[in-house]
Structure 1
């Protein structure tokens, strides 16, 4: 691994790990983001036009909030991989790296001269991660993929929504995010193995595989019964009462998974007779008679506020919660206590709020969270530091179109 400059006492878990990232949009950058959060030096190689996510809103002071979230803690180097000199520069950086990340369709990295075979020949210890829609093998591997494509093809949309409604998209890019998460896990496992063997490997992650792995309960039900799960709306497919219910001023969720909790629940809502009712004698019968049970639950909850429902059920240990929007979740006392949003400084010198990685370590009480880089902001510094190029050589590469123009952070240019 590359040499870290920080004192041992202040080093983060991945200090000293150098990552060269050829990724764009969400799934690949998410993997790099996780590694960067943990202290890895992530050098993001961008084409002259930049990562597409730089142009996708919402925007603040002309900068994409989505790009900032996915690319915090990274450096940006602009290299044109279609230019011969640019390709050589990229290969030289990869020859010194611990990890390379790419999320092109299979075959594209090879055509650009940064495929696994070529780079591992230069650097046998290299851990090389490819994240794509359908992986490096299989009849669908050539297909482009977006999150909605994978949600549709992996059964996630089919089980989301009302039973009598249309298949429904999950509210965020979950297939993208989980693919990046699995990729980071694969990279860390490969780095650990390399400590023992000295050899790198190719990590192949497919959004298709990752999304199906995410839906572990759904996969287990099908593998056990041979029957595909169906949409059940805002309730659990095999337990009750377990879902969303109406209160006087909105909705809440409750999770009752066994007879002990159900007895306590029935007592708490003032309907102890439900305990001996043959329709509700165990989890299976309660699920079969969910509509009737729902009527009993909502005859009680409909005359109470969400706050009253939560207080009553929480007091006796029933899992219960209000349904919050993202603002309520992120501005909650719990989110503040866990430090899930961090204030840092934007490229314009103003305040910028960024999500923080969610894992806490006793050995590292704080993690770094810095803004995403401006396009090509670190091109000159990286080429000088790691390839030993002088100013004249870098200027010649810039004039020839192999690298991007000199980039200056906005707050320094004013």
Structure 2
């Protein structure tokens, strides 16, 4: 449980009106965790999500986990008195978050334009499935539909099988964090310009940016290729990079990539196996014999426990993790030693829930109070005072983070993305790097290019400063840079920054206003803190891998090509950075932010983990079964590997589906008149839907059902995005020229479709050391002679001559 008082929390003094119901409620929850006063404005009968499954003794576990730390005011917004009270609340607030359908607030006379006319400095964040504009504006969606239309579903599963819905509610939970990032950007901008913001946020667009983005950074195993280049038409084959092996009490996963890791694995196999030749240190050589090698590993692991294998792997330097079950996650000694879970009482029973996304200054920022009772804070209405607009002088068209300097030591995906989202918003992001320890994203296997597309996507808008941090002179230079820096980013193994002499304690002594961000696989404390961090091991440890499989197929783990949670963890860090910056405006001091990538996934799975703690055995792989909706799932359509996701979650949608299919017999059957009956008849109803969809193009299915009020979406592939009329109408795409790359590159736009924020200025990614001389002169005051001497001494590194020329 976090030990900060409410006045010490980063967002203390910030008031947020929360009209989110059923989706994006974690946006307000995270702002509340960080200290904002978040007030749910509910109908007199309560929010619909108070009844949302799963339930425990009649209480919604979703509502409980997503609305902790909030307050509740119940109002009838259709009455004059209720509307008047709401407007008084608006007068006292900084941010309003709403998830009503486009046009719904306008019908009440409470649309963003009206509220902004009353309060020009109000930040209004409107979160909807597809945005307030565009061809899909009035479509309805669910988590499953977003995964289909956001091109995530098409790449999930195993070759030769149907596409597989990823577990949990990855789309809705991750996009809620991006919404929180956007809300705080708007508030930060207001603090400097005095102007509010109207922000049109699309869950579909955020899904396409966060989970496995087609235009974003890919992992180091991609060798610089884009997600689009890597994406198969169907599902990917079972991979060998991150194999999973049965053991005596479950499964374990290993990531043996570099020669040192293979040396550890080779020794573990013994002295007399056929692959002791030094040539097998090369991953390409190993791949030629990978089936035989994996066969030996499988035999070695079969009779040993997961705990025993993890301990031995740690000792030998072999990256390894147990594929944890839900109960193993809840009981995990590392997570519990870190305080990753906290107790929460639901209907008189004690459960466990993830305790928050981040740590700031060594304290967990998370759950402090249970979700509110309906209307428990209505007395606040008598205490409201109008918020005074901020005294600000900056021009309204400035980029929000202009004037901030970031020293970016981040590598690979999570590191690259954290710096990139700051650079997009105007921060001066300086990538500090050295050829002796190169960023894996710089490798490229593409013929005719001197820089990888993946690196370009993750480091656009940055500058590169070549510096040897293994030398005393290099550390001294870094200290000098830190004196005038605002933020330092890293995602090394915990303890690395301290060992170099550039940890938070050293840097804050130089610059008390500095904010450091440490992102690691399992957090910077706890018994496994210094484990080697790879995304596949993070997913295994957090329970996601165990859920991401076909329930009826043994060993069908299907998360081999995803890079979850890297892009998402960067957004978590972004939210914490904005909160720390806002606190710094108030207190003058910086802070230390720590993000555990595994724990970002625990928080994504907050509701099923809470349920598992109260109802053991419920958090299991469900494949394409939508537990609380029927009919629903992934349905075949006409054509080669064409599919559509459909979800019927209310009686009106059921009637709409039956009308669209021409099945009045089903519509009139009393056995299917309610959700409980339809869930009981799942197999019958879903077979009927599949028979209908199988003869139709998926676009026809989607358009027909959306017109009938049914949540439905075609399974899009990345290759479909260029022709997507909605994404083009929403200005989702941008293009930029990248020296060293033969063609113009397509990239994503900003984190919110339309707002009063300026769009990112898209500048090329740097070559290694490209800006060293420039920055050494402008920031350090070094003269040319000193710079060249430091280059000759190996302290500074500069770009090689003509590096941008195609090879």
| TM-score of the aligned structures, taking structure 1 as reference length | 0.92
Please tell me whether the aligned partners of residues 377 and 408 of structure 1 are also in contact (alpha carbons under 8 angstroms).
Answer: no
For residues 446 and 599 of structure 2, the distance between their equivalents in structure 1, rounded to whole angstroms, comes to 30
2:700 pairs, out of 291, 308, 312, with 308
Q: Between 67-76 and 48-57, report the one with greater CA deviation.
A: 48-57
Match in the other structure for 1:109: 497
Quote how far apart the aligned CAs of 1:164 are. Answer: 1.1
- Cα 1:129–1:352 change in 2 (3 A) is same
For residues 248 and 344 of structure 1, the distance between their equivalents in structure 2, rounded to whole angstroms, comes to 37
For residues 337 and 408 of structure 1, the distance between their equivalents in structure 2, rounded to whole angstroms, comes to 42
1:146 pairs, out of 534, 558, 568, with 534
For residues 323 and 60 of structure 1, the distance between their equivalents in structure 2, rounded to whole angstroms, comes to 33
Match in the other structure for 2:645: 253
- Cα 1:272–1:363 change in 2 (3 A) is same
Match in the other structure for 2:797: 404
Q: Does 1:95 align with 2:483?
A: yes
Q: Which runs of 5+ in 2 are unaligned?
A: 1-187, 189-393
- Cα 1:322–1:388 change in 2 (3 A) is same
Quote how far apart the aligned CAs of 1:317 are. Answer: 2.0
Match in the other structure for 1:35: 422
Match in the other structure for 1:178: 568
Quote how far apart the aligned CAs of 1:253 are. Answer: 0.9
| SS of residue matched to 1:174 | coil
- Cα 1:279–1:324 change in 2 (3 A) is same
Please tell me whether the aligned partners of residues 768 and 799 of structure 2 are also in contact (alpha carbons under 8 angstroms).
Answer: no
Q: Does 1:219 align with 2:594?
A: no
Give matches, 1:34-73, under 5 Å.
Answer: 34-49=421-436, 50-57=438-445, 61-73=449-461
- Cα 1:413–1:246 change in 2 (3 A) is closer
For residues 338 and 308 of structure 1, the distance between their equivalents in structure 2, rounded to whole angstroms, comes to 22
For residues 746 and 659 of structure 2, the distance between their equivalents in structure 1, rounded to whole angstroms, comes to 45
1:236 pairs, out of 599, 602, 626, with 626
For residues 338 and 186 of structure 1, the distance between their equivalents in structure 2, rounded to whole angstroms, comes to 28
For residues 214 and 88 of structure 1, the distance between their equivalents in structure 2, rounded to whole angstroms, comes to 40
| SS of residue matched to 1:164 | coil
Quote how far apart the aligned CAs of 1:78 are. Answer: 0.8
1:344 pairs, out of 736, 752, 756, with 736
Give matches, 1:336-375, under 5 Å.
Answer: 336-348=728-740, 350-360=743-753, 362-375=755-768
Give matches, 1:166-205, under 5 Å.
Answer: 166-169=556-559, 171-205=561-595
Match in the other structure for 1:4: none
Question: CA-to-partner distance for each residue in 1:245-298, whole Å, 9 max, x for gaps?
Answer: 112322111121112211221222112332354653433443343222111112
| SS of residue matched to 1:100 | strand
Q: Between 229-238 and 199-208, report the one with greater CA deviation.
A: 229-238
Match in the other structure for 2:681: 289
Please tell me whether the aligned partners of residues 160 and 170 of structure 1 are also in contact (alpha carbons under 8 angstroms).
Answer: no
Quote how far apart the aligned CAs of 1:231 are. Answer: 2.0
For residues 56 and 223 of structure 1, the distance between their equivalents in structure 2, rounded to whole angstroms, comes to 45
For residues 413 and 275 of structure 1, the distance between their equivalents in structure 2, rounded to whole angstroms, comes to 64
Question: CA-to-partner distance for each residue in 1:2-35, whole Å, 9 max, x for gaps?
Answer: xxxxx83542011011110111111111111111
Aligned length: 409
Match in the other structure for 1:17: 404
For residues 430 and 802 of structure 2, the distance between their equivalents in structure 1, rounded to whole angstroms, comes to 17
Quote how far apart the aligned CAs of 1:57 are. Answer: 4.8
Quote how far apart the aligned CAs of 1:40 are. Answer: 0.7
For residues 170 and 217 of structure 1, the distance between their equivalents in structure 2, rounded to whole angstroms, comes to 24
| SS of residue matched to 1:179 | helix
Question: CA-to-partner distance for each residue in 1:192-213, whole Å, 9 max, x for gaps?
Answer: 1110010111001000111222
Please tell me whether the aligned partners of residues 33 and 72 of structure 1 are also in contact (alpha carbons under 8 angstroms).
Answer: yes
For residues 376 and 157 of structure 1, the distance between their equivalents in structure 2, rounded to whole angstroms, comes to 38
Match in the other structure for 1:392: 785
For residues 212 and 21 of structure 1, the distance between their equivalents in structure 2, rounded to whole angstroms, comes to 27
| TM-score of the aligned structures, taking structure 2 as reference length | 0.48
Quote how far apart the aligned CAs of 1:411 are. Answer: 5.4
For residues 740 and 712 of structure 2, the distance between their equivalents in structure 1, rounded to whole angstroms, comes to 43
For residues 799 and 451 of structure 2, the distance between their equivalents in structure 1, rounded to whole angstroms, comes to 18
| SS of residue matched to 1:26 | helix
| SS of residue matched to 1:92 | helix
Question: CA-to-partner distance for each residue in 1:332-391, whole Å, 9 max, x for gaps?
Answer: 122222333321111137522223333245323422112211001011111111111111
For residues 313 and 410 of structure 1, the distance between their equivalents in structure 2, rounded to whole angstroms, comes to 53
